[in-house]
Structure 1
Amino acid sequence: MNISLFKLLVPKNNIPAKSKPVKDLSEIDVVAQAMIFFLAGFDSVSTLMCFTTYELAANPDIQDRLRQEVMTTLDECGGKITYEGLLKMKYLDMVVSEVLRKWPSTLATDRLCLKPYTINPALPDEQPLHLEEGSILMIPIYGMHHDQEYFPNPDRFDPDRFNDENKDNIKPYTYFPFGLGPRNCIGSRFALLENKVLMFYILMYFEIVPVERSRIPVQLSKTSINLTAEGGFWFGLKRLKR
């Protein structure tokens, strides 16, 4: 991957000067924050839920294995799921982690360069990349998650990438669906919990099946800024016999 793709220069005079904290919020501030809440809290979680549903419908063997874990956990919790029981579900965590690798809710993230830095070339035909103070680095999450060097056969949905044996082999800073460091997503744990609870109850009562309008493999929309399916996600719920 050419490291020049990471750089987007912003003039230094665009960096906001240090000033005293603003105590009062204007209407624009309130509206802007509300919009961020909707985009970051609703759209990203719905994307994760939709692609989880898609992968379970497209991979019935994985869905069956996950349902077995759901039923086992339900028995261990006395017929009612608990927070502790949900956290112990290793395969559910593996499935959700792989969905976030293959279909990250955010295609890229950015960071501000606070001091000059030079990235030395990794390939013979590359030039050093000089980052100036005030540069904004665009980091392609989707590109990193689909890099053959870090995730072999990246288009294959394989939750076992995140099992106890393999997850420690994932190179640091190559998997970051919620960002990294002190500026990572503040709502990541809540988003994961929402998705896991929903999947738990769906698989407890239903089998997720393709229907006439389902598209497998999925066709990505070319008009959305984030990942979504062309024409939407369409799947059926088949009631389980219990």
Structure 2
Amino acid sequence: MTECAEEYVNYFLNQKKTVDVELKDITTRYTNDIIASVAFGVKCDSINEKNNEFYLMGKKMTNLTFLRGLAFLLYGIMPKLSKAMQLKIFPSEIHDFFMKLIKDTIKARETQGIVRPDMINLLLEARKGKSSHEVIDAGNATAEEFSMHTSTPKPKKELTDVDIAAQAFGFFFGGFDSVSTLMYFMGYELVVNPDVQKRLQKEIDDTLKECDGKLTYEALIKMKYMDMIISETLRKWPGVTATDRVCSKPYTIQPSNLNEEPVHLKPGDVIFVPINGIQRDPKYFPNPDVFDPERFSDENKGNIKPYTYMPFGLGPRNCIGSRFAILETKTIFFLMLSKFNFIAIEKTQIPIKLSTKSFSIVGDSGMWIGLEPRSK
């Protein structure tokens, strides 16, 4: 992650001037390169090689057209019918590209004895029945720490190359757009709230001194104000606006108004939970449109009502990549803000107006900001 982020920092430092950037373009390129490296074992440099094949395929894969969005919806509410209809979400071109990439990578590693600490290696180890994980810290204001050491027998059904490709493919799809959305709005809020940005830069400068100018994982996850900013960005601008769950037992939602009828849920019913609506409800978050990282300070985060903050979902079905997403976001902002100020320029849209033509949460005219080299 650090290597990928440093490529972006150096690219803009070489301009030796204030550079105008469109945040969605930059953040999708960065998340593409991170996932390419960590999940697929592929080296990408999308900031210098603007039209590399991996990035272009990623853009095609995550471009949620109306028909593709409809296919997703049908799979969610009518999975058996969708399978019977052989409904395709992604075109063969994308499927064939990623399948070939994964199979070639697995073959090269197994024949040449290559070991690289990434997702493919973990899945290959899992295929052999090996598992050993340790998480030192969640690195998020509302997540709890956990530690796990396990050794499991080889699974009865062996993971195939297709299974591994599917996991990497899902990892890409889940992390390409949603994480770039987090970075997009975090950059915007730092421009709109320069006092927040200055306080964060001080924390970054102090952290660099403590670790002798070289960023470490341990130093990064201890940065409380960085964590508070990311948590508040996820509260105000969740990358996924709703989540779904399947009802497991009968339940009745009693009416809250006199003219309403009770809602009876039965096992198998699909429930959609409006994450964005709940996290913007003034009943749970006073002045919800105000960007206030202090909501997630050590003194205040305990006051957040359970089940009202869920940018990564909740329970055993929450986002498996939440820690990964937070870490790559912290890494790029740490390194960028150590060298640049994020400033408003003529093309910066304040306040931002959201697009009504996109499935993703983005501004209707992009989000342009300036990267101004810091003078130290």
Q: TM-score normalised to the size of structure 1?
A: 0.86
Cα distance in 2 between the residues matched to 1:74 and 1:217: 33
Counterpart of 2:281 (choices 143, 147, 152) is 147
Counterpart of 2:190 (choices 40, 56, 67) is 56
Structure 1: gaps (5+ residues): 1-9
Counterpart of 2:291 (choices 146, 150, 157) is 157
Matched, 1:86 2:232: no
The answer to whether the 8 Å contact 1:116/1:131 transfers is yes
CA-based RMSD? 2.5
Matched, 1:172 2:306: yes
- Within 5 Å, give how 1:89-128 maps onto structure 2: 89-128=223-262
**Shift of the alpha carbon at 1:190?**
0.5
The aligned residue for residue 368 of structure 2 is 234
Which moves more between the two structures, 136-145 or 229-238?
Answer: 229-238
The answer to whether the 8 Å contact 1:221/1:229 transfers is yes
Structure 2: gaps (5+ residues): 1-76, 84-155
Cα distance in 2 between the residues matched to 1:25 and 1:133: 33
Cα distance in 1 between the residues matched to 2:245 and 2:344: 40
Matched, 1:129 2:263: yes
Matched, 1:67 2:240: no
Cα distance in 2 between the residues matched to 1:241 and 1:114: 58
Cα 1:120/1:26, change in 2 over 3 Å: farther
Which amino acid counterpart does residue 107 of structure 1 have in structure 2? Answer: T
The aligned residue for residue 4 of structure 1 is none
Higher strand share: 1
The aligned residue for residue 225 of structure 1 is 359
Number of aligned residue pairs: give it: 228
Cα distance in 2 between the residues matched to 1:99 and 1:179: 15
The answer to whether the 8 Å contact 1:107/1:226 transfers is no
- 3-state secondary structure, aligned to 1:62: helix
- 3-state secondary structure, aligned to 1:110: strand
The aligned residue for residue 207 of structure 1 is 341
Cα 1:31/1:232, change in 2 over 3 Å: farther
Which amino acid counterpart does residue 43 of structure 1 have in structure 2? Answer: D
**Shift of the alpha carbon at 1:192?**
0.1
**Shift of the alpha carbon at 1:228?**
1.1
Higher helix share: 2
**Shift of the alpha carbon at 1:122?**
3.3
Q: Deviations 1:146-191 (Å, cap 9, x if unpaired)?
A: 0010011111100001111111110000000000000000000000
**Shift of the alpha carbon at 1:22?**
8.0
Cα distance in 1 between the residues matched to 2:302 and 2:364: 35
- 3-state secondary structure, aligned to 1:241: coil
- 3-state secondary structure, aligned to 2:338: helix
Cα 1:224/1:26, change in 2 over 3 Å: farther
Cα 1:124/1:25, change in 2 over 3 Å: farther
Cα 1:228/1:22, change in 2 over 3 Å: farther
The aligned residue for residue 88 of structure 2 is none
The aligned residue for residue 69 of structure 2 is none
Cα distance in 2 between the residues matched to 1:32 and 1:187: 15
Cα distance in 1 between the residues matched to 2:216 and 2:307: 32
- 3-state secondary structure, aligned to 1:70: helix
- Within 5 Å, give how 1:22-41 maps onto structure 2: 36-41=170-175
- 3-state secondary structure, aligned to 1:130: strand
Which amino acid counterpart does residue 141 of structure 1 have in structure 2? Answer: I
**Shift of the alpha carbon at 1:37?**
2.9
Q: TM-score normalised to the size of structure 2?
A: 0.56
- 3-state secondary structure, aligned to 1:111: strand
Over the matched positions of the two proteins, sequence identity in percent amounts to 54
Cα distance in 1 between the residues matched to 2:303 and 2:190: 25
Q: Deviations 1:27-63 (Å, cap 9, x if unpaired)?
A: 7x88876653333111111111111100001110100
